[in-house]
C-alpha cells in the first residue's frame, strides 16, 4: 500500500511541477488508477473519476469512488445516480493528479480470486456506455471486449479519451 501511495504522490509532484512552469498548463491535471496484483490481492490506488471495477461471477462492483462534484451530490442525497449521469458538472473533479502540490489518493486492498476480472477504465467509456452493457460485454465477449467497448463509446459520441484495461485471474 505504501509503495502505491508514494508512487502516486511522486507522479503528482512531477505533473504539478510541470504545470507550474507554464501559465497555459497551470490548471492541468489528470486521473490515475493503479492496480498491482500480488498473492491473490489487488492493491489499488485511485484519484479522479476514472474507475476500477471487479467482476466476480455475475457480480459487477465498482471498487473506486469518483472524486467528482456530482459524486458528492449523490452521496449527500441532493441528486440521484440517474440525475448525475446528465448533470452539467459531472466532469468537475474534486481531486485530481497534478492540480495541487500534495494529494491524498484512495488506496485499498481487495481479494483477487480465481476467475475474478478487474476492469480499469477512464470516464471516456463510463460516460458513454452503461455499466450493465460494460459488464455484459465483458462476460459475453471476453476476448474482444476491450475493442468492442472502445467502439461502443466512440459510436455513442466518443467525446473524451477512452481507456479500458481488463485483467483476469
Does the structure show a pLDDT above 90 at 86? Answer: no
pLDDT in tens, 15-45: 999 999 999 988 889 999 999 999 999 999 9
CB 10 within 8 A of CB 45: no
Closest CA to 97 of 161, 14, 164: 14
Distance, CA of 92 to CA of 29 (rounded, Å): 11
The pTM for the full model equals 0.93
**Taking CA 7 as the corner, what is the angle to CA 97 and CA 55, rounded to the nearest 5 degrees?**
80
Q: Domains plus CATH for the chain? A: 2-168 (3.60.40.10)
Amino acid at each position: 500500500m505504501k509503495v502505491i501511495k508514494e508512487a502516486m504522490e511522486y507522479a503528482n509532484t512531477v505533473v504539478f511541477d510541470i504545470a507550474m512552469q507554464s501559465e497555459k498548463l497551470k490548471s492541468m491535471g489528470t486521473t490515475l488508477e493503479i492496480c498491482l496484483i500480488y498473492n491473490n490481492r489487488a492493491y489499488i490506488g485511485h484519484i479522479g473519476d476514472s474507475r476500477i471495477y471487479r467482476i466476480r461471477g455475475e457480480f459487477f462492483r465498482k471498487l473506486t469512488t469518483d472524486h467528482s462534484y456530482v459524486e458528492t451530490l449523490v452521496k449527500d442525497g441532493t441528486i440521484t445516480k440517474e440525475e448525475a449521469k446528465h448533470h452539467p458538472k459531472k466532469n468537475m473533479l474534486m481531486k485530481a493528479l497534478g492540480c495541487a502540490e500534495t494529494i491524498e489518493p484512495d488506496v485499498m486492498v481487495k481479494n483477487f480470486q480465481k476467475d475474478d476480472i478487474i476492469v480499469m477504465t477512464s470516464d471516456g467509456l463510463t460516460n458513454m456506455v452503461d455499466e450493465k452493457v460494460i459488464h455484459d460485454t465483458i462476460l459475453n465477449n471476453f476476448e474482444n471486449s476491450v475493442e468492442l467497448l472502445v467502439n461502443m463509446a466512440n459510436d455513442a459520441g466518443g467525446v473524451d479519451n477512452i481507456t479500458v484495461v481488463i485483467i483476469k485471474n
